[in-house]
Homo-oligomer: A and B are copies of this chain.
Amino acid sequence: MSSIRDVARLAGVSVATVSRALSMPEKVSKESLEKVHAAIAQVGYKPNMLARNFRSARAYAVVVLVPDIANPFYSLFIRALEDRAHQKGYAVLLGDTRGTPERELEYIRRVETRLADGIVQLRPSSEKSVNSVPPGVPCVNACGCEYTTGPAIRIDNRGAAKSMVNYLLSLGHKRIGVISGLKDNPHAIDRLEGYKEAIAEAGIAYERDLIAEGDFTMWSGLNAAFQFCNMKNRPTAIFSMNDEMAIGAMQTFKAQGIRIPEDMSVTGFDDIAYAKYCDPSLTTISQPAEEMGKMAMDMLLKIIEGEPLGQTECVLPTEFIIRKSTAPAKVS
C-alpha cells in the first residue's frame, strides 16, 4: 500500500507538499500540483484516514444508541441522522443495545476511547437511568422525556397524549383503556400523565384496571387487548402508546368479533408507515422522526466542535392524524 512518502518520492517533492496539495491546494504551485496528482494517479494512492484521524484526535464518527433498530420509528430517525452525519463528513456507528446495560456501556466506552466523537441516545434515559453518560462525553438525548437531563430533542409526550385522549372524550367515550409501555419507561410515564390529566379534567375517575402494560411490540399489544375483551364493563376506546401495540390490539379485537371502530375505537402513537395501511387505518400522533434525527445530529456536532448551542432542549411539534380506527361512542 502506497503512502504519502511514495507519492512524494515519485513526484520529486516533499511529503509536506503532497499533504498541502491535498488539503490546501491554493498554497502549492501549479507545477507541483500537477506532479503530485500525476504521482497519485500512478501509484493509486489513497490517503490513510486512520492516520489522519489519529493525528487530529477525531474519529469523525458518532454512535447512535438505539434499543432496537427493527422498530420502524427508530429506523426512520436513524435514516435521517445518517443522512445529516454523512453530509457533515461523519460516520454513524450503529449501537443496537437490545436494552442491555452492558452493551450501552460498551458503546459509551467507544467514545471514551476515541473511536467515536459523541453519542445520540435514542434510549429514553430518565433520572433513574443506571448508565448515565459520563461528563465530558458529548451526548444528545433524542426521544427523551420531561425529566431528561442534558441536551435533548424530544416531543411533548404528555401534551400529545392528552390531546389524543381529549379527542376520544369528544367522541363521547367515557371509559378509555390504555395500552401502556413498560411502567418505568419515560415515554410511558409522560403519556400516562397526559391521559390522567385529560380524564381528570373531564371529571372521570382514574381506574387502574383500564391500564394494560405492554412493551411496545405488536405481540404485547395483541395480548394486552385480551385483558379488555374479558372485562365485564368493557372500555369503548383504547389509547395505545404506540402504533405497533395498537395494530396488535386491533387484531385481537377483530378476532373476538369486536368491530373497529363501531364497537371499539383504537388510537396509536408514532404514525409508522404501516399505520396508514392497516385495517382500519389508524388514528394516531405523528412524530417528526426525520426532523428529530437531523436536529439531534446538528446539536451533537455543535457540542463536539465546541460551538455554543442556543437551547439545550428542543421540543418539536407533533401532528394529530385522524383516520378510520376511531368513531363516536355508541349511545347506550
Binding site for B on A (CB under 8 A): 46-51, 53-54, 57, 59-61, 64, 68-70, 72, 75-76, 78-79, 82-83, 86, 91-96, 98, 103, 106, 109-110, 112-115, 218, 222, 247-248, 251, 254, 273-274, 277-279
Contacts and interface: CB of A to CB of B under 8 A. Distances in A.
B82 A69 contact: yes
A136 to B, nearest CB: 9
Contacts of A61: 93
Copies of this chain, count: 2
14 contacts: A47-B113, A48-B114, A49-B115, A50-B53, A50-B59, A50-B114, A53-B54, A54-B54, A69-B75, A79-B96, A82-B94, A83-B96, A91-B94, A278-B279
B247 A277 contact: yes
Contact of A50 (B95, B115, B274): B115
A69 B78 contact: yes
A83 B69 CA distance: 11
A257 to B, nearest CB: 14
A278 B277 CA distance: 9
A47 B48 CA distance: 21
Contact of A69 (B57, B79, B110): B79
A254 B78 CA distance: 33
A50 B46 contact: no
Given A83-B96, A92-B94, A277-B248, A70 B59 contact: no
A96 B113 contact: no
A170 to B, nearest CB: 27
A72 to B, nearest CB: 7
A244 to B, nearest CB: 8
Given A75-B75, A91-B93, A218-B273, 6 more contacts: A46-B109, A50-B114, A247-B274, A247-B277, A254-B279, A279-B279
A60 B49 CA distance: 13
Contacts of A109: 46
Contacts of A251: 277, 279
